[in-house]
Amino acid sequence: MARLVIIGAGIAGHTAALHARRKLGKQHDVIVIAPNSKWNWIPSNIWVGVGWMKPEQVTFELAPVYRKKNIEFKQARALSIHPEGDDGQSSPYVRIEYTAEGHTGQQEKVSYDFLINATGPKLKFEATPGLGPAENSLSVCTYGHAAQTAQVLQEKIERMKKGEHQCFVVGTGHGLCTCQGAAFEYIFNLEHELVKAGVRDKATITWLSNEVELGDFGVGGMLLKRGGYVTHSRIFAESLFTERGLKWITQAHVNKVEKDHATYELLNGETGEVAFDFAMLLPPFSGVGLKAFDKKGTDITSKLFAPNGFMKVDADYTPKPYEEWDAADWPKTYQNPDYANIFAVGIAFAPPHGISKPMKSVNGTPINPTPPRTGMPSGVMARIVTYNIVDMINGKADKPVRTASMAHMGAACIASAGAGLLGGTGVTMTMYPIIPDFKQYPETGRDLKYTSGEIGLAGHWIKHALHYAFMYKAKALPFWMAVPE
């Protein structure tokens, strides 16, 4: 009998758990450790954040699903990994602390034969003074944050209906933020809601981002095949912003968020501030803070994790200048190089470097997007890692044989630009590969046959349909596996 332990129950962790249970015999244990009782389809949080959906439409309780599928669920926070066991326990284990009501604070050792780290990120609001829902800005990173944001937005709309002018700022709250895509979706949904409410003329809306230019999205921008022409994503994005009457500030590191304004530094060293009545600014990410110890109790956290808290895997972490970055640097199996039974997927793995070019201001402040690895890529790598582990448990392989490098993986992204079955729009983008490969595609870094962008009502319909498809899949309803990652 083997025990597979999965830390985290987001897109990657939940996908891994369902596939593992489907592929492994009943004699093997599949255990999920996650601090939250609910699963959240995070891509739809932007709709919660404008009031178009309710939290209950993007969440469900995990325990009943896992009970139905014979997956053991521990509502707890992982504290530390002990890959060699210790003097009192020879098996490797994870130390956890329960967060479930009635068990809060209780600790336990959970042994494993294989471990998948799918914790996702820590939302590092504290990196910028004043940033976050507990301080002076709003967020859509969780369904709770999004619900709060929707409430504040409605209050602002009511003020505007009474004749008040309101300033809205949406974007990133730090120079090293990752999820420009979520903020991109939110600013267009915000603008769309103001139009629907008849108060658009009472609003100034400003995009504040660490991107070097609009359309970077943390992937270094891209050339898109659109309407028979090749267009840079910067032109595509700028046209959308201009059509909607949105202002933008790029190349910005937010260094402080006050009650009614944010101050920032630009790549050229200039400083500025932007006033707001409403600010939705996303935080930077870090690892969740897991520790690691060897069998003697010596701290080996730096052995398993990079300085940013994300887990080291089979990537090339050799420091290199941007000109020497290579698609081959990116991991293929997501296996830890020191402990062959430990893997990390989704945001939990440490990328070897960025995708966008690293930049620093004249004052030495880093200002560039860090690499996204959420959504579709997270699900794909979780499935492939799980299949490899299943093969090793079943004796079909002694090492991972399947690969899921982001340098050989395409992605399809549908970004909502306003919700509404008849008046909504969505930006449909595809790219291949996610990590640019200038050796294979010297002119563009990507294959233009599979890299495209379009906007229209059909995009909204597709995104809306996918919301229900992925909720269906995550609930493990009949034939759930037919819905692709």
The confidence score (pLDDT) of residue 285 equals 97
Beta bridge partners of residue 431, listed in sequence order: 411
- DSSP per-residue codes, 113-153: SEEEE----EE-GGGSTT-STTTT-B--SSHHHHHHHHHHH
The confidence score (pLDDT) of residue 188 equals 97
Query: What pTM did the predictor assign?
Result: 0.96
- Write out pLDDT tens, residues 392-419: 999 999 999 999 999 999 998 899 999 9
Domains in the chain, ordered, with CATH? 3-121+287-407 (3.50.50.100), 131-212+250-284 (3.50.50.60)
- The per-residue pLDDT of the chain, averaged, comes to 96
Return the structure tokens found at 437.
């490969």
Strand bridging mode 107-111 / 93-98: antiparallel
Rounded to an integer, the average pLDDT of 235-252 is: 96
Return the structure tokens found at 338.
């020191």
User: What's the DSSP call for residue 45?
Assistant: H
Three-class secondary structure of residue 430 per DSSP: strand
Q: Are 195 and 292 in contact (CB under 8 A)?
A: no
The confidence score (pLDDT) of residue 228 equals 77
Evaluate if residue 227 carries a pLDDT over 80. no
The confidence score (pLDDT) of residue 144 equals 98
The set of residues, in sequence order, having a beta carbon less than 8 Å from that of 101 and lying 6+ positions away, is: none
313 confidence band (pLDDT: 50, 70, 90): very high
- Enumerate the H helices of 394-435 as residue ranges: none
Q: Measured between alpha carbons, how far is residue 472 from residues 31, 142, 462 in Å?
A: 22, 20, 15
The confidence score (pLDDT) of residue 62 equals 98
Rounded to an integer, the average pLDDT of 452-457 is: 90
Q: How would you class 14 by CB atoms within 10 Å of its CB: exposed for 0-12, middle for 13-18, buried for 19 or more?
A: buried
330 confidence band (pLDDT: 50, 70, 90): very high
Rounded to an integer, the average pLDDT of 26-43 is: 97
- Write out pLDDT tens, residues 93-144: 999 999 998 888 899 999 999 999 999 999 999 999 999 999 999 999 999 9
Report the share of the chain in percent with pLDDT over 70: 100
The confidence score (pLDDT) of residue 118 equals 98
229 confidence band (pLDDT: 50, 70, 90): confident
Q: Is the dihedral of CA 379, 33, 55, 178 positive or negative?
A: negative
Evaluate if residue 180 carries a pLDDT over 80. yes
Rounded to an integer, the average pLDDT of 70-92 is: 93
- Residue 135 to residue 129: CA distance in whole angstroms: 9
Evaluate if residue 287 carries a pLDDT over 80. yes
